[in-house]
């Protein structure tokens, strides 16, 4: 995966995460929206960079032979990194006074966006 493909995929993940949080949670706080956007962008870039630096991209990029949801370990890692990053960033940042369940849903939407974009768009 080249840098342009990785960055464009991360940008699509960030935009989708932002839209999901806006539409599903009806969130309007600019700092929280920016945090979700940043986490959904940065964390998949980190994961894919790790795979590239270690030479493990080929090992993790084999899709399941299931046409409806052809997920790979690489896709799953992008989602998990986004979940971890968004959880921490929202919980210690703009969502620190929110109920834990709201923080969890926010992070889950960011992770879902990263996973969906990875599975279906690149």
59 versus 86: which is more confidently predicted?
86
- Closest by CA position to 35, among listed 7, 8, 14: 14
> Per the structure block, which two tokens stand in for 3?
């840098």
Rounded CA gap, 13 and 48, in Å?
13
pLDDT in tens, 38-76: 999 999 999 999 999 999 888 888 888 888 999 999 999
What is the CA 121 to chain-centroid distance, rounded?
13
With b meaning 16 or more CB within 10 Å and e meaning fewer, what string describes 104-117?
bbbbbbbbbbbbbb
- This prediction has a pTM of 0.93
């Amino acid at each position: 995966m080249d840098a342009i493909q990785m960055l464009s995929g991360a940008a699509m993940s960030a935009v989708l995460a932002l839209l999901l949080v806006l539409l599903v949670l009806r969130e309007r706080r600019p700092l929280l929206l920016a945090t979700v956007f940043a986490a959904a962008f940065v964390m998949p870039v980190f994961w894919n960079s790790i795979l590239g630096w270690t030479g493990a991209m080929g090992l993790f990029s084999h899709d399941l032979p299931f046409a409806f949801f052809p997920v790979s370990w690489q896709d799953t890692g992008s989602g998990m990194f986004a979940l971890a990053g968004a959880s921490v960033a929202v919980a210690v940042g703009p969502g620190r006074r929110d109920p834990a369940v709201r923080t969890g849903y926010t992070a889950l939407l960011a992770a879902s966006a990263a996973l969906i974009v990875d599975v279906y768009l690149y």
